[in-house]
Amino acid sequence: MGCKYRSLVIHLLLFSLIILYLPTSIIQAENNSAQYYGRVSVGVERRVEFLSGGYIRINDTFTLSLNISESESQPTGATAYLTDYTVGVPKNYSNNLVYYSAHDFRGEMLITALEDEGGFLWLKLSFPEPITLAGDGIYNFTVTYVFSDMIRREAGRVFRAEFPLYPSLREEAAYCNVTVVFPSAASVSESDYPSDVFINKTSDNRILCNSTSPLMAYANISSWARFSSTTFSLLKFLNMRREINIEGWGKISVTDFYEISVVNNNVIGLNLPSGASGIVVYDAYGQYEKSNIIISEMEDSVSVKVILGEKLTDYGGGRIAVSYTLPFWKYIVREGWQNYILNINLTKPDEWVIDHASIIIVLPEGASIIQENGVNLASSKVGLFQERVAAEYYRVTRYQSLGLSIKYQYMILWAAFRPTLLASAIAGIIGLAAITVRFMRLGRVRAVIPAAHVPPETLKRFIETYEEKIRIISEIDSLDQQSRRGKISRRHYRLQRRLLEERLSNIQKGINELKADIESAGGHYTDLMRRLEAASANIETVKRSIAEVEIRYARGEISAETRRRLIEEYERRKRESEIEIDDVLLSLKEEIS
């Protein structure tokens, strides 16, 4: 009994000593780790490239290591543990940032956007596994940024780019080496960059370098460069809308609408879903010749190169449409005898960003939606017997995959049953017509005049004149913007605006005359002109509303967040009205093609 008691006492004493010693060990370990955690050495290699299309790509390769001076004795096992790292983008460039990613030797890294702080957008990079830095060990990872709207054309073939010179970090970096690479066919002279910032490394000035050591924390320094090129272009997809119509007998008809802005380029590349056939391209001026369309079958898509019409390139952009059909068996799976599943991805142009994209799927008459799988989907009725699904996306990036899956119920016999309903309706109409004729003989009703045919020449002149109106309005908007920014004198602004307004007034007179001729035909022409007029009036209303918001913001009546929210809403309404105008012009185009 005594032995057991003494053994128990000894075990209790040992356990007490362990408990007393353990916190001390943990504290020492934590202090030892903390000593070097805040002393990680950071080096950055920055590469800036100007991409055709008007984008700037920046690759930052980071090298992390322990920072222990020679005068310090390095304790055995000194390490630094890192689970993440934070990089920043200056706030004045954050709105231009359209894509970012990070990777190390193991693959992609998770990135979390943090709240804006101190004039920077911060991105938290999470390592796949905690990083241990010890001794002479190093760790490398790369962050990629893509910016838009930071390259503009100065004149002719001359372009100017502005970009952040250094990365923005929360701590000082040991060094940062910057390399600027111009496009392969660009011409650069010594006056095309700040010589006090960059050193030329080649005979043709196509590679510029800058080195700084150390790089201060929270760096926000910009630089610029200029170059000339006959092949460099600016291309932007402002809007993309895809309309998919599923017909009862298994045909899938698709029409894609694109709104583009283009400088120094007359060829654009589009990607259509795999299996697309019967491809036709047209703009408001007519259908494109086959010689202006180059089609290539790819592994998972159909590539279409379009040589733009002269009017689009002269105006710096516009709207085009592409119609085609898709194989039913490739995109629709049948379950049972009346259930179907549509699976399709939003294939898109191979560009870094599309400002706004939407997709509309119209089901066969008599079909009903059972289930929807996708983001931002909304279903609605189209008439009595038809349903549709729509989705909208903003700032769609190159590597973003947008897939849709819709399950619906449809009886294939509906397509055969529908003519029976139609025959009944026709019989009813005939009966109604007989009654109408009888009343007409009594003078109680007036005959309805059917819609007349409008000459194609009239429609073509109307389309061209209306497009000219859109271009002049765009010039006025650009002039107003330059005046607000102080880019031109008030005298020059007033003179130019008066000239543009006179041209617009003359154009509007021509539009009114042609519009009266078209409306006189009646039928759907009257509806098209009404839609056009309503959309145009709505755009003018939106412009006035935006101007009022700016005035209220300048007076301090609303906050910056309220201003941003209101302007975004008004811009959305404006974009919808522009799409409505586009639809009307394209409908008129189909009348003459």
Q: Say which DSSP state 42 is in.
A: E
Sign of CA dihedral 273, 279, 282, 288: positive
Check: CB of residue 441 under 8 Å from CB of residue 560: no
Check residue 18 and give its pLDDT.
44
State the Cα–Cα distance between residues 178 and 157, nearest whole angstrom: 26
Check residue 85 and give its pLDDT.
95
Place of tokens 């154009």: 507
| Phi and psi at residue 74, to the nearest 5° | -85, 115
Q: Is the pLDDT of residue 45 over 80?
A: yes
Instruction: Report all structural domains of the chain as residue ranges with CATH numbers, in order of start.
Output: 37-228 (2.60.40.3650), 234-412 (2.60.40.1730), 456-592 (no CATH)
Q: How confident is the model at residue 69 (pLDDT cuts 50, 70, 90)?
A: low
CA-based Rg of the chain, rounded to a whole angstrom?
33
Q: Is the pLDDT of residue 25 over 80?
A: no
DSSP for 101-157 reads EEEETTEE-EEEEPPPBTTEEEEEEEEEEEEEEETT-EEEEEEEEEE-S-EEEEETT
Beta strand pairing status for 339-345 and 332-335? antiparallel
Place of tokens 């399950």: 407
DSSP for 244-310 reads EEE-TTS-EEEEEEEEEEEES--EEEEEEETT-EEEEEEETTEEPPGGGEEEEE-SSEEEEEEE--H
Q: What is the mean pLDDT of the chain?
A: 81
Q: Is the pLDDT of residue 4 over 50?
A: no
Task: Give me the mean pLDDT over the 441-465 stretch.
Answer: 65
Q: Is the pLDDT of residue 63 over 50?
A: yes
For 29-33, 76-80, 414-418, which range has the lowest pLDDT when averaged over its residues? 29-33
Check residue 9 and give its pLDDT.
45
For 33-42, 109-118, 308-317, which range has the lowest pLDDT when averaged over its residues? 33-42
Task: Give me the mean pLDDT over the 173-198 stretch.
Answer: 93
The count of other CB atoms within 10 Å of the CB of residue 134 is: 14
HEC string of 355-390 equals: EEEEEEEECCCCCEEEEEECCCEEEEEECCCEEEEE
Check: CB of residue 294 under 8 Å from CB of residue 326: no
What's the token pair of residue 275?
């299996």
Task: Give me the mean pLDDT over the 403-419 stretch.
Answer: 69
Q: How confident is the model at residue 68 (pLDDT cuts 50, 70, 90)?
A: low
Q: Is the pLDDT of residue 446 over 50?
A: no
Place of tokens 């910057």: 178
Task: Give me the mean pLDDT over the 15-28 stretch.
Answer: 40
Place of tokens 């989907």: 377
272 CB-near residues (< 8 Å, 6+ apart): 254, 256, 279, 301, 302, 303, 304, 322, 324, 347
Beta strand pairing status for 353-362 and 234-246? parallel
pTM above 0.75, yes or no: no
State the Cα–Cα distance between residues 12 and 61, nearest whole angstrom: 55
Q: Is the pLDDT of residue 150 over 80?
A: yes
- Between 203 and 180, the more confident residue is 180
Check residue 452 and give its pLDDT.
60
86 by DSSP, 3-state: which?
strand
Beta strand pairing status for 120-134 and 110-113? antiparallel
Check: CB of residue 111 under 8 Å from CB of residue 101: yes
pLDDT tens for each residue of 135-149: 788 999 999 999 999
- Between 371 and 317, the more confident residue is 317
pLDDT tens for each residue of 567-586: 888 888 888 888 888 878 87
State the Cα–Cα distance between residues 357 and 40, nearest whole angstrom: 44
Q: How confident is the model at residue 431 (pLDDT cuts 50, 70, 90)?
A: low
Task: Give me the mean pLDDT over the 83-98 stretch.
Answer: 92
Q: Is the pLDDT of residue 448 over 50?
A: no
Check residue 450 and give its pLDDT.
47
Q: How confident is the model at residue 376 (pLDDT cuts 50, 70, 90)?
A: low
pLDDT tens for each residue of 267-298: 899 999 999 999 999 886 778 888 999 999 98
96 CB-near residues (< 8 Å, 6+ apart): 147, 148, 149, 150
State the Cα–Cα distance between residues 584 and 27, nearest whole angstrom: 74
Q: Is the pLDDT of residue 366 over 70?
A: yes
For 194-203, 209-218, 418-427, which range has the lowest pLDDT when averaged over its residues? 418-427
The count of other CB atoms within 10 Å of the CB of residue 375 is: 10
Q: Is the pLDDT of residue 441 over 50?
A: no
